[in-house]
Structure 1
Amino acid sequence: MNNTPLKKQWIAIVAVLVITAVLGALILRDKKPASGGDGHGHAEASHGEEHKDEHGEKDGHSEKDGHVEKDGHSEKEEHAQEAAPAPTKGPHGGKLLKEGNYAVEVTIFETGREPQFRLYTYVDGKPVDPAQSQVQLTIERLGQPPQAFALAKEGDYLAGNATVTEPHSFKVKVTATHAGKTHQMGYEQVEARVTMTDAQMKAAGVDLGTAGPALIGSTLRLTGEVKYNSDRTVQVVPRLAGLVEEVKASAGDTVRKGQVLAVISSQGLSDQRAELLAAQRRLSLARTTYERERKLWEEKISAKQDMLQAQAAMEEASIAVQSAQNKLASLGGVAASGSLTRYELRSPIDGVVTEKRLSLGESVKEDSAVFTVSDLSTVWVEAAVGVRDLGSVVTGLPVVVKANAFEAQANAKINYMSALVGEQTRNAVARIVLANPKGIWRPGLPVTVDVLIEEKQVAVAVAADAVQDLRDWKVVFGRYGTALEARPLELGISDGKHVEVRAGLRAGENYARTNSFVVKAELGKAGASHDH
């Protein structure tokens, strides 16, 4: 039996076993720790030397993975820290910030109080006494210097020492030291902010303004009504009873002084005219008699006494004519030029017929106000002044009158303050005489009257039209780079053009001055949240 093949197989098996044993020994030697070489407690090679010498696998990662270890963290982990993910929600509903086994939960508590930072600390996911940590918290808002909050223990949390003002839109930086180790953590939250480039703002008609000092008048707003200027309004009365034969003007017509408004047939006027005619004829006869008697006296044919009697009769007739003319003039009649009963009712002033109270064929009385004619080149504005404001509102103060129904305003002054207070209204009346060259101020029009009480220099002011209502705030939209963010304001006095800013915006900050409602609309589209 030939055993040569069998021997070759055994030789090959033995060779494989020997090679395997040698390789195993080499691997075990490579993995043997390098520490304790001299028995004096020296540490092993530094991380820098270890990375320099290593070229194989380490902790399951080879060099070909491209993530070389550095100070216990791979480059991949370093990049993950630089671009930290959004914090998760903590047990108290806040932002849970983690670094290693340590965590801080940042909350903004505002139930029944002004918003306050409250921080909770954890180790290995379990709450720990916050007094064991030294924590600092700083926020950074757009366009404002950083604000640091001092934190003190209250119960199981650290409480901030200041109110977290709205909007809650800022970067939060937390530095916490626990068990000798310092942790740097943070997050950013955005609220009431939109992004608009310069081109987008120009297309929307949004112009920027700069908050700064201004001279603002302190104003008192009154409600009022436009009325006829009573000094330039007349009631046209016939002063003679009669029958209406013609009506030549209607309400709304513009008339000139002396223009005929209506014609009335009046028997009373006829009597007056007849009396005048009789007096005129008597005067004519008396004048002729006097002239004859005077010539006869001059020729010494008649006595002087006859001439003097004729002269006295002529003067009496002249007086009677003058009396009849005055009576006729007082009735508004003129000398007869046809029918003695024709009475022409004329406008006494230039103006507009505001009321007509007669019609053709109607019988009117001598005291009936049949027309009202008003000169509307000026009107009165009468505004109610409450008793508490009587000490501030005086004659001569400048005012701005604004129409409630349309865009119109005019500058004027208070011309009159009533000396009495109404028994029912408990108000006095301020009267303004308003020029009305275009006729836009119609009697009966409701208006508002802004009375300038005093002027005051303020440190920071913005355009009144830029202020918008957002939630329960009065805001303007500050401009920071390409961002527009709501700035809740504490407002002071206003004159309708500018409004004082007592808090919320600093001098020099830019804001959306015109068409700020567009920014508010964009904010609504963005669905800005109130995220804590």
Structure 2
Amino acid sequence: MKYRNKLRSIFAAVPLAALLACTAALVVPTLVVASAEEEHGEEHGEHEEERGPNGGRLLEEGDLEVELLISERGGTAELRAWISERGKALTKAGDARLAVELTRLGGKVDRFNFAPADGFWLGKGAVEEPHSFDVKVLLARNAERAEWHYESYEGRVEIASEMAAKVGIKTAATGPGEISQSLTLYGKTALAHGSLSHVRARFPGPIKTVLAEIGDRVRKGQKLAEVESNDSLQVYPITSPIDGLVIDKQASSGEYSGERELFTIANYDQLWAELRLFPSQRGQVARGQKVTLQADGQVVDTQVANLVPGTPGQPFVLVRTPIDNRKISWPPDLMLEGQVLVDHVRVPLLVESRALQPLGDGMVVFVKVGDSYEARPVELGRSDGRVTEVLSGLEVGQRYVTANSYLIKADIEKSGAAHAH
């Protein structure tokens, strides 16, 4: 996985992260980054590196000169070098010996030996992402020896542990785990049986008083109105048969009750989700399977209670799952999505999905070593939304950022340290 696909120098001046300030008053903490020259230039007396005619980093020692470049062609990154002595190009195998060591965050070392190619020297092997390392270059020419050491970092910041804790950066270790495989179904909410009641007068007569209005929450047995019976001329109460909400009222004092519906009471504490299941999906769903419902920005966990036929002529059955609606207050007929858990898959390496951040042309995870955080491009596999399989780019046991990884991404983008060779 690459950020860009073009020729890039391996030794550009890439910022190192230095966390300078963050106050508790900030809603979103800002991590201020210092450049490599600011951190190290004064100590070592270094200046901006020279560039060679091929766009690579120019290294000089006495009469010897090496220009070093990362070249990306066909999706593969390779090391190229041009070697010269007193301005004369050295192009034959016996002219010199060149080797490069790239030490990555965490201590892994990639070694490259060079051989003459078509007008340049080619390092044997591909340079893997990320292109962020401490560099050691070794050149031998007859009895002469030259050695250079550089830092070439990209996507890397330094954050003290105290500050990381203050801004809420958290980490976890990569490792194996289970990914849930789900079937996505769509449907809507429906009232539970017995949750809707239409209230009429038992004995028709004039309505004497009305004690409930639309929107009132009433209890079972609560008085809604009083009616005078035409037969007995006695006033008797009309009460609510269930706990619920008055959603309709057709009663006013002085009117004749007749046999019409005077009140409609609905109890929304318990709803049903009715999800459409088509014949090709039928074999994947059974009673008792876990279901995650999503609607209106809210999530509910439940399970399949039963499967019932749809209305005549419809090519699906309904997967019915109960909903405890007391906290979420969903209305009936709300369109929703259901994820029915149909299987668990064990994978060798996964990360929390919230750890993934888009950077450059792909997705990255930020790996932590000491106080250093570095973007690692990853190739991703299956996901259930909560966790995601990583096919390449990470190793088991590495610590990676889970919470607030966006803060690190923001610093890297601000400092220009994202793949800037």
> Under TM normalisation by the shorter chain, which class is it?
0.7 to 0.9
Aligned-pair CA distance for 1:167: 2.8
- Counterpart in 1 of 2:363? 474
The 3 A distance-change label for structure 1 pair 464 and 363 is farther
- Counterpart position of 2:20: none
Paired residue for 2:407, among 518, 521, 525? 518
The CA deviation at 1:201 is 1.3
Find the residue that maps to 2:288 and give its secondary structure.
coil
Which residue matches 1:376? 268
Contact 2:91-2:121 within 8 A present in 1 as well: no
Deviations 1:130-173 (A, max 9, x none): 65555433322101521234656553334455543333211233
Partner of 2:319: 430
- Given candidates 484, 490, 498, the residue that maps to 2:387 is 498
Q: Aligned partner of 2:358: which letter?
A: D
Q: Is the 8 A contact 1:130 1:157 kept in 2?
A: no
Alignment of 1:149-160 (within 5 A): 149=112, 155-160=118-123
Alignment counterpart, residue 353 of structure 2, candidates 464, 469, 476: 464
TM-score (ref. length: structure 1): 0.59
Superposed displacement of residue 244, structure 1: 6.1
Match of 2:56 among 87, 94, 98: 94
Check conservation: 1:116, 1:159, Cα contact below 8 A.
Answer: yes
In the alignment, is the contact (CA less than 8 A) between 2:353 and 2:386 conserved in 1? yes
Larger strand proportion of the pair: 2
Matched, 1:188 2:151: yes
Q: Equivalent residue for 1:350? A: 243
Shift of 1:250: 2.7
Q: Distance in 1 between matches of 2:126 and 2:320?
A: 49
1:204 aligns with 2:167: yes
Query: If you compute each CA radius of gyration, which structure gives the higher value, 1 or 2?
Result: 1
How has the CA–CA distance of structure 1 residues 356 and 203 changed in structure 2, closer, same or farther, with 3 Å as cutoff? Answer: same
In 1, Cα distance between equivalents of 2:388 and 2:335: 25
Equivalent of 1:455 in 337, 341, 344: 344
Deviations along 1:37-58, one digit per CA (max 9) or x if unpaired, are xxxxxxxxxxxxxxxxxxxxxx
Q: What's the offset of the Cα at 1:190?
A: 1.3
Residues 1:243 and 1:338: Cα distance change in structure 2 (over 3 Å): closer
C-alpha offsets along residues 212-246 of structure 1, whole Å, 9 cap, x if unaligned?
A: 23344334455554442245333446699987665
Say whether the 8 Å CA contact 1:235–1:371 is kept in structure 2.
yes
Q: Using the alignment, how far apart are the partners of 1:363 and 1:125 within structure 2?
A: 112
Q: Distance in 2 between matches of 1:422 and 1:177?
A: 85
Say whether the 8 Å CA contact 1:86–1:187 is kept in structure 2. no
- For these two proteins, the number of residue pairs brought into alignment is 376
2:265 alignment partner AA: V
**Paired letter, 1:196:** I
Residue aligned with 1:522, SS:
helix
Of Structure 1 and Structure 2, the greater helix share is in 1
Q: Which amino acid aligns with 2:349?
A: V
CA apart distance, 1:529: 4.2
Name the CA distance, whole Å, in 2 between partners of 1:469 and 1:154. Answer: 37
State the SS of the aligned residue for 1:110: strand
Instruction: Give the whole-Å Cα distance in 2 for the aligned partners of 1:364 and 1:149.
Output: 95
- Contact preservation (8 Å) 1:384, 1:428: yes
1:411 is the counterpart of 2:301 = yes
* Secondary structure in 2 matching 1:89: coil
The one-letter code of the counterpart of 1:412 is T
- Measure the CA separation in 2 of the matches of 1:423 and 1:139: 68
Please give the per-residue CA displacement for 1:434-469, whole angstroms capped at 9, x wherever unaligned.
223446444466655443222233333333333333
Aligned to 2:11: none
Out of 396, 400, 403, the residue aligned to residue 288 of structure 2 is: 396
Question: Are the structure 2 counterparts of residues 390 and 523 from structure 1 closer, same or farther at C-alpha, using a change threshold of 3 Å?
Answer: farther
Aligned mates of 1:151, 1:351 — CA distance in 2:
81
Partner in structure 1 of residue 196 of structure 2: 233
Q: Which runs of structure 2 are paired with 1:54-453 in the superposition (5 Å)?
A: 87-110=49-72, 113-129=75-91, 133-149=96-112, 155-160=118-123, 162-178=125-141, 183-222=146-185, 225-236=188-199, 246-262=209-225, 270=230, 273=231, 336=232, 338=234, 346-353=239-246, 355-360=247-252, 366=259, 371-384=263-276, 389-402=281-294, 404-405=296-297, 409-419=299-309, 429-438=318-327, 440-443=329-332, 448-453=337-342
State the distance in 2 between where 1:506 and 1:172 align.
22
Q: 1:196: Cα distance to partner? A: 0.8
Distance 2:64 2:311 in 1: 74
Aligned equivalents of 1:98 and 1:498: distance in 2? 49
Q: CA separation in 1, counterparts of 2:61 and 2:220?
A: 94
- Per the TM alignment, residue 195 of structure 1 is displaced from its structure 2 partner at its CA by 0.9
CA contact (8 A) 2:180 2:343 kept: yes
Is the contact between residue 194 and residue 526 of structure 1 (CA under 8 Å) also seen in structure 2?
Answer: no
Q: CA contact under 8 A between 1:229 and 1:374: conserved in structure 2?
A: no
**1:450–1:104: structure 2 CA closer, same or farther, 3 Å change rule?**
farther
Q: CA deviation at 1:388?
A: 6.2
SS of the residue corresponding to residue 517 of structure 1 reads: helix
Match in the other structure for 2:35: none
**Structure 2: tracts of 5 or more residues without a match:** 1-43
Aligned equivalents of 1:497, 1:523: Cα separation in 2: 25
Q: Which string of whole-angstrom CA distances, capped at 9 and with x for unpartnered residues, describes residues 319-355 of structure 1? A: xxxxxxxxxxxxxxxxx4527xx8x6543323223x2
Asked if 2 retains the 8 angstrom alpha-carbon contact of 1:168 and 1:531, the reply is no
The one-letter code sitting in structure 1 at the alignment partner of 2:264 is T
